[in-house]
Structure 1
Amino acid sequence: MKAILGTTVLSLSALLSTTAFAQDTTFTINSFGGAYETAHRACIITPFEEETGVSVNVVTAYSADAFAQLRAQKDAPQFDVIHFSGGQEIVGAAEGLLAPIDAASLTNAADVYDFAKANLAKGEGPAYSIAAIGLIYNTDAVSPAPTQWADLLNPEYSEHLVLTDISNGYGMLGFLMLNQSQGGDLNNIQPGLDAVAKLLEAGALIVSTSPEIQQEFAQNDAWIAPYASDYAFTLRKAGLPSGFAQGAEGTPASYITTNVVAGRPNTDLALKFVDMSISPEAQECFAEALRYSPTNSKAELSAEVAADVAYGEEGVAGLIRFDPAVIEANRTAWVEEWNKTIAR
């Protein structure tokens, strides 16, 4: 009888701890739609709902739109947790739209790489996935594999190179890395523009979207393209021989962050959601599904998955984050110069 009573008490306790979260709670987040949102649900949202009993309202909104909504709702925020991939958390935290996070409130924070949790106390949520930008290449046509960004200037690739317009976020990061490999920096993008002009003269092609990259690899004998690690996996799933290489000069990265919105009543729930997002299990799931790089040092990936991402201490050591605030401040001027260059 004692054992049965003990079990009953434990079961009741677990039930109460779950329903305590669930009662009269509206919990709202954003996600990015498509395959990403499918993975988001499988890796984090559904496990969170099952553990807490809370139903998550998912608003499909990319980073810029989500941030615009967050600003517009400043006096009455609707999101409990908000996700960004373009660095909007830096501005949001500075404007007081995001709540500071005490690392001690996250059970998984100790295992997250330092760069991914550097400004929790300022309100910048942790990066729970990384889209690493490197060199996607045709494994049948390119041997040996490319090893550096300067390889993009290899004459053998001239008529088989696909660049992405810098109106595309990944295209911007790839261009900035090419610029850096040629001696430029965020104060001087001319070396990169000069390199692009040479590549175009030699036969390179510029596209605007990821589906166009797939089309070029599938139909027009493309061999190499600077783009995100997850897209090499997309090409391979489409039956195309593709690999991903990190350039020796460094790997630009798009940080995908999970942030607690200030002024909402569900702070404990929000912290739990963030904590689950940075768990090794969630990050292994994302890497398996979409080939995003984990930021939790305890995430364990198969050799097949690890080959497609920046993984482990050594893999993430080469990650570079170009300052999102500087990019945003210069975006219009840079796009204007880019358009002049590619129109020649």
Structure 2
Amino acid sequence: MKTMLCTAAAAGLMATTATAADKTLTISVYAFAQDEYKEALYDPFEEICGCDLVVETGNSVERMAKIEANAADPVIDVAVISAHDAYALSQKELLAQIDSTRLTSFGDLYPSAQDPLGDQTAVGYTFYASSIVYRSDLVKINSWADLLDEEVAGRVALPNITGTQGPLTLLMLSKALGHPEDFAQTITTVGEHADDIVTFYSRSSELAQLMNQQEVIAAPVGRFAWGSFKESGLPFAWAEPKEGQTGGMNVMVMTKGNGNEDLAYQFMDYWLSSEVQTRIAEAQIDSPANAKVVLSDEVAEGLTYGAELINSLNMISPQDIVAHRDAWVEQWNAEVIR
């Protein structure tokens, strides 16, 4: 973000720098779209607050581990992560409770984003739908079960169980296969088809490359990655399976005892405002959790937008994911990643 001045030609400049140095907020975020976030969120906030943002990125495991390792003396003030990862941190008592009265747009958020963990330690800032992206000139996808069909065998990718899309895909495959409460049976079925799967991807960028190279013609993906397929020049389509779409919510959290709560609340409040959520949505970075955001049809087409779509998503509770994740991973490693 802003570059700190180590020396200055004038005392006035030194005083200004010292003032800024006294107001520094360290945030931990996803690595994607950082140039766009800088323009839409980080730079405008620094101008308003007269402070500096230190932005740290990385995958969820790395970022969560850093929060846990520094619990006694937090080095991260605010983090944005998946709802289930936030719940895992909350269960370890690493998160501060959020005083919603200090967030002026709190009442404008969709109800499900206001207290997604049920303990006031997180607030939702974006929703994402997930469905299947496919080559419309080569195959037609009508059901999540089509991912295991012979028509796409050897040309389909699935997300790894350890990624955000993994449990969501299990949810919808289980529903399509007729046993929505039995992920174990679905994992076994995926294992039986493992030789037909090109890869079990961990990052959407990895999947986009495979699909653009035409090695994969169908795969589950989050709506936030749809733009890279839509703009590729190839005839990709977004499926609307008969079982519906799945999805999730990303949330913002504040570490317990970070000592920088005032600036953290200011930043969170700014990000949740209808002004900023609109600007981020119009830049096609993230879908809004603020229900007052109004978007054109053209912009909304690339996002997870509106109460009707959000309320229709098949979602897994953070509590269920955390409770069963270890068992899913163990079975997955034994039967799928052989």
SS at match of 1:93: helix
Question: Which residue number corresponds to residue 107 of structure 1?
Answer: 104
User: % of aligned pairs identical?
Assistant: 31
Instruction: Give the AA of the match of 2:313.
Output: L
The alignment status of 1:220 with 2:208, answered yes or no, reads no
TM-score, normalising length from structure 1? 0.80
Question: Which residue number corresponds to residue 81 of structure 1?
Answer: 78
TM-score, normalising length from structure 2? 0.81
Instruction: Give the AA of the match of 1:228.
Output: G
Check whether the contact 1:137–1:223 (CA below 8 A) recurs between aligned residues.
yes
CA distance in 2, matches of 1:310, 1:107: 23
CA distance in 2, matches of 1:137, 1:285: 29
1:205 pairs with one of 192, 198, 203: 198
Question: Which residue number corresponds to residue 331 of structure 1?
Answer: 325
Question: Which residue number corresponds to residue 182 of structure 1?
Answer: 177
1:31 pairs with one of 26, 29, 35: 29
The alignment status of 1:42 with 2:39, answered yes or no, reads yes
SS at match of 1:316: helix
CA distance in 2, matches of 1:102, 1:113: 17
Question: Which residue number corresponds to residue 261 of structure 2?
Answer: 267
Q: How far has the Cα of 1:87 moved from its partner?
A: 2.0
Question: Which residue number corresponds to residue 52 of structure 2?
Answer: 55
CA distance in 2, matches of 1:41, 1:323: 31
Q: How far has the Cα of 1:134 moved from its partner?
A: 0.9
Q: How far has the Cα of 1:224 moved from its partner?
A: 1.9
Question: Which residue number corresponds to residue 8 of structure 2?
Answer: none
Instruction: Give the AA of the match of 1:208.
Output: Y
CA distance in 2, matches of 1:192, 1:121: 29
Root-mean-square deviation over aligned CA pairs? 3.0
Deviations 1:237-272 (A, max 9, x none): 333332323544343323221112221332222112
CA distance in 1, matches of 2:334, 2:88: 30
Check whether the contact 1:128–1:278 (CA below 8 A) recurs between aligned residues.
yes
CA distance in 2, matches of 1:75, 1:246: 47
SS at match of 1:320: coil
Gaps of 5+ in 2: 1-15
CA distance in 2, matches of 1:29, 1:150: 40
Check whether the contact 1:167–1:335 (CA below 8 A) recurs between aligned residues.
yes
Greater alpha carbon shift after TM alignment, 41-50 vs 329-338:
329-338
Check whether the contact 2:126–2:249 (CA below 8 A) recurs between aligned residues.
yes
Deviations 1:304-341 (A, max 9, x none): 33223321011101223323344344334323433444
CA distance in 1, matches of 2:50, 2:312: 40
SS at match of 2:289: coil
Number of aligned residue pairs: 321
Check whether the contact 1:232–1:242 (CA below 8 A) recurs between aligned residues.
no
Gaps of 5+ in 1: 1-17
Q: How far has the Cα of 1:284 moved from its partner?
A: 3.2
Instruction: Give the AA of the match of 1:25.
Output: K
Greater alpha carbon shift after TM alignment, 292-301 vs 117-126:
117-126
The alignment status of 1:229 with 2:226, answered yes or no, reads no
SS at match of 2:33: helix
Distance 1:204 1:251, change over 3 A: same
